[in-house]
Chains A and B, each alone.
Chain A
């Protein structure tokens, strides 16, 4: 699922996680999750912590910045 409000794409998770560029195509196969979905699902059990939510906000900002820089 894409979020039109920002620049996250399935490729965002790949690029910030260095996955496809650094470690090969295999590592990017599960990119059917976009970055928001990935982060929400992976951290679903710990997102109630304020710190974690702040960290997630930083990571999303970094993702957006790095994706924009590359495109």
Chain B
């Protein structure tokens, strides 16, 4: 018997990862060295350029000093490079040309949530900051798939500023909500389970049974990004806030102010990084 997910996947034809990404994933599983991995990435000019631009962006602070992919892997770690390539490839693969959603606004919101989620984790789990960034960037990816499936329906459902659309409304309309859809896509692309969990529970963090801190960071970052008017996720309203998620982050309001100040500076300084993400 087919699962609900597999039936749905056939209907919407979820994209597959590019060949280079697939090769990279298989090499990582075999514990291949940095030199060999760099050679795989360098077979694709666009990927090579993307890695070097990303690693030399203000976001990572190497300021133009990294000149080879191998060096980039050494400096940032294979995990980070792999996740960045996976993310940018996914965003490129599912980008849509229609006018149902302003992609610049959408990426601005996604990027903002990524930056804020990363910084919200500075106190309790610095080691999760990269995952916080990626979870934030990808949290609404399911919504982008809705646009891809049927842009007209998307516009009808999300008529901006008219009424809040919660997950149950989406489920009525699409038979699935954007959290679940995003989770399926992240799993198909073999993203780490922490990222698919962050996507799956960013509106309902209290329901997550694992990676609660990461999920909490993405949830709170999403609320803050809406409040700050950073970009547009396609849905104007915040329909849920979890006080428990905020408590999980163990931050004071004074620390939050610093987090937001630094996040806004970082967002302003990372224009070209955003350009690389879509």
| A contacts, CB < 8 Å to B | 13-14, 16-19, 21-24, 26-27, 30, 35, 38-39, 41-46, 49, 51-52, 54-56, 58-59, 61-62, 66
* Range class of the B interface residue count: 35 or more
Q: List 17 A-B contacts (CB under 8 A).
A: A16-B228, A18-B112, A18-B230, A18-B264, A19-B108, A23-B104, A27-B102, A30-B160, A39-B229, A41-B161, A41-B237, A42-B236, A43-B227, A45-B237, A46-B239, A55-B223, A58-B256
Partner of A19, one of B226, B229, B237, B241: B229
**List of B residues within 8 angstroms of A52 by Cβ:** 223, 241
A16 touches B256 (CB 8 A): no
| B contacts, CB < 8 Å to A | 102, 104-105, 108, 112, 160-161, 164, 223-224, 226-232, 236-241, 243, 246, 253, 256-257, 260-261, 264, 267-268, 271, 274
Partner of A22, one of B236, B257, B271: B271
B104 touches A24 (CB 8 A): yes
B257 touches A58 (CB 8 A): yes
Interface residue SS majority, chain A: helix
Partner of B108, one of A22, A59, A61: A22
CA distance A62 to B241 in the complex (A): 21
B105 to chain A, nearest CB (A): 5
A22 touches B243 (CB 8 A): no
Partner of A21, one of B161, B229, B232, B268: B268
**List of A residues within 8 angstroms of B108 by Cβ:** 18-19, 22-23, 27
B239 touches A35 (CB 8 A): no
**List of B residues within 8 angstroms of A56 by Cβ:** 227
B140 to chain A, nearest CB (A): 15
B232 touches A18 (CB 8 A): no
B117 to chain A, nearest CB (A): 15
Partner of B224, one of A14, A27, A49, A59: A59
